[in-house]
Amino acid sequence: MFQIRQATVNDVEIIRQIAEQTWWPAYSPILATEQIAFMLGEIYSAEKITIQIAENQQTYLLLIEDERPVAFAAYSPREEDVEIYKLHKLYCLPITQGKGYGRVLIDEVCKKTLEAGKHTLDLNVNRYNKAKSFYEKMGFSVAYEEDIPIGPYWMNDYVMQKKLS
């Protein structure tokens, strides 16, 4: 049994733990150890997540299985185009992968996007990440490629998009 709830600043450490347990297995085959460590520290610092939640920069959803948080998603309107929402983060603990929780969280973000009166959801995925095929199954398609500098590294991504109705 599971439930989804909006995360608060009290959930920052839980989000960071899920990210830590998810990133290493997900990105070790495609990124250097140093880059993973840097990006985790940069993207998932307690301060950064706290500000994102407290200032409503991103809405975080936690998926709770048997009273234990096991997955999360974060989304917001795109800064440069508020007509488009962006799924910034979607991570499920490796032990829960295959249970459909990624699909459940994407469906919830799609619902929230439509409730906001918007009809397009974007996300970035590393061009070598096997999650790309999952997103395609969820109805996303590649819109364009994007290379984003992050410290001394680059995120080599596809921007994928899904039209909602």
**How is domain 2-163 classified at the CATH fold level?**
Aminopeptidase (3.40.630)
What is the per-residue pLDDT for 80?
81
What is the per-residue pLDDT for 136?
98
pTM: 0.94
Question: Which parts of the chain sit beneath pLDDT 70?
Answer: none
What is the per-residue pLDDT for 82?
80
Beta strands across the sheet bearing 59-65: 2-6, 59-65, 68-77, 85-92, 120-126, 153-163, 141-150
